[in-house]
Amino acid sequence: MKSLNLWKKQLGEVPEEVWRDADLESLVLADNGLTSLPDRFAALPHLRMLDLGHNALTSIPPSIAALTDLDFLYLHDNALTAIPRLSERIRYLNISENRLASLPALPASLVELRAMDNEITELPDAIRNLQRVRELHLRNNLLRTLPDAISELRELRQIDLRGNPIERLPEALHDLPRLEKVDLRWVTTIESWDFAERLEAKGCLVYR
């Protein structure tokens, strides 16, 4: 894999030479004080891993959808309020520590989603499209419940809801055949924990 690691180089902007290397498969631009990106990602057609974390980005250019080989995308710790359409191949997406009030349209290929420390108030019914997802990390958002569509995530193993103002969880959680762990620590708004006892009876760990 041809890689370029420019982590913490105090760049301020993406160097021109990055866009000239069409064979790049892994690109790390994390922690460089980036505030914007050129709309030139189509120049990197073979990119499989892109790390833009720990910057000050307020938007991501639409050309990121041109990265049709992308497997891993890190956008955490920026100032994003929206995420553009992404490639339908991505397996790992980290959009934690941004300013998102809702989840973006998510590729059905996702195996792991990290969307912690945002301002997300609800999960859309379209979450049902994540038929391959195994881990949902949603710590420190504004979720009060989950949609019944969660029952269609048949591969889901772990869901982290720590620090959300959860009031109730749907019966649909009991229908998930592979669910191993539900993390509800730092949640103080649930009145009845009967659902937790039922999950535990099925062998699911419930942290509270």
Dist. CA 114–CA 86, nearest whole Å? 15
Q: Which two tokens stand for residue 3?
A: 């890689």
pLDDT at 140 over 90: yes
- Quote the mean pLDDT of the chain: 96
Burial of 179 (0-12, 13-18, 19+ CB in 10 A): buried
Task: Give the C-alpha separation, 202 to 187, whole Å.
Answer: 22
d(CA 198, CA 49) in angstroms, rounded, equals 40
Evaluate the CA torsion angle 33, 39, 43, 45 in order and state its sign.
positive
Q: For domain 1-99, is the CATH number 3.80.10.10? A: yes
Q: Do domains 1-99 and 100-208 have the same CATH topology?
A: yes
Instruction: Provide the residue ranges of all domains of the chain, joining segments of one domain with +.
Output: 1-99, 100-208
**C-alpha to C-alpha distance for 76 and 51, rounded to whole angstroms:** 9
pLDDT of residue 28: 98
Q: What is the pLDDT of residues 160-202, one digit of tens each?
A: 999 999 999 999 999 999 999 999 999 999 988 998 999 999 9
> In whole angstroms, how far apart are CA 144 and each of 73, 80, 170, 184?
28, 23, 11, 12
Predicted confidence (pLDDT) per residue in 114-136, tens digit: 999 999 999 999 999 999 999 99
How many other C-beta atoms are found inside a 10 Å radius of the C-beta of residue 190?
15
Helix (H) or strand (E) holding 154: none
Q: Which helix (H) or strand (E) holds 136?
A: strand 135-137
As a whole number, mean pLDDT of residues 90-108 equals 97
Residue 63 to residue 43: CA distance in whole angstroms: 9
User: How many residues in the chain?
Assistant: 208
Secondary-structure class of domain 100-208 per CATH = alpha beta
Tell me the average pLDDT across 66-77.
98
Furthest-apart CA atoms within the chain: distance in Å: 58
Q: Is pLDDT at 76 greater than 90 in this prediction?
A: yes
Q: Is the pLDDT of residue 1 over 90?
A: no
Count CB neighbours of 191 within 10 A. Answer: 7
Query: What does the alpha-carbon distance between residue 134 and residue 150 come to, in Å, rounded to a whole number?
Result: 12
Residue 29: is its pLDDT beyond 90? yes
How crowded is the C-beta side of 144, counted as CA atoms within 13 Å? 2
Average pLDDT over residues 10-19: 96
Q: With 90 as the cut, is the pLDDT of residue 4 above it?
A: yes
Averaged pLDDT, 8-24: 96
Q: Identify the pLDDT of residue 191.
A: 85
What pLDDT does 59 receive?
98
